[in-house]
Amino acid sequence: MIKKIDHIAIAVKNLAEEITRYRDVLGLEYLGSEVVAEQKVNVAFFKINDIFIELLEPTGPDSPISAFIEKKGGGLHHLALEVDDIQTTIRRLQEKNVQMLNSEPKSGAHHSKIAFVHPKSFSGVLFELKQQGDES
């Protein structure tokens, strides 16, 4: 079951510059950064009420975010939806003929489990399914 919008992810070329812009110009609450090795990204986290903005910087040329930035120049990458049970949600979507980019969950930031829905399934919108992880 989808619980809420968890975050909006934005692909950026230079994380340090964008952290300054989002924190100092927009005045958003900066929560810190994390390297998510499995996804090949450096991520900076900001909070607006109970929704997060994640800035994604590729860690190398083989990162999916590198390809996105090369093709589109950066910008809105995906919308993340928090789910109760990611395995069940993936199966339910597949039963409804939704094309998944990940049929099995991957590791995300903060020990979460994530899976992406192919953008062709929802008018070009890339959705991330996210099950919260144990942050201990």
How high is the mean pLDDT of the chain? 94
Q: Is 79 or 134 the better-scoring residue by pLDDT?
A: 79
**pLDDT tens for each residue of 23-59:** 999 999 999 999 998 889 999 999 999 899 999 999 9
Judged against a pLDDT cut of 50, whether residue 136 lies above it is answered with no
* 136 domain residue, yes or no: no
- Residue pair 91/43 in contact by the 8 Å Cβ criterion: no
Q: Domain limits at 18?
A: 2-131
Number of domains in the chain: 1
* 112 domain residue, yes or no: yes
> pTM of the entire structure?
0.88
Token readout for 55 is 């800035």
pLDDT band at 135 (very low <50, low <70, confident <90, very high): low
Q: Quick one: average pLDDT of 98-110?
A: 94
* 36 domain residue, yes or no: yes
CATH number of the domain that residue 97 is part of: 3.10.180.10
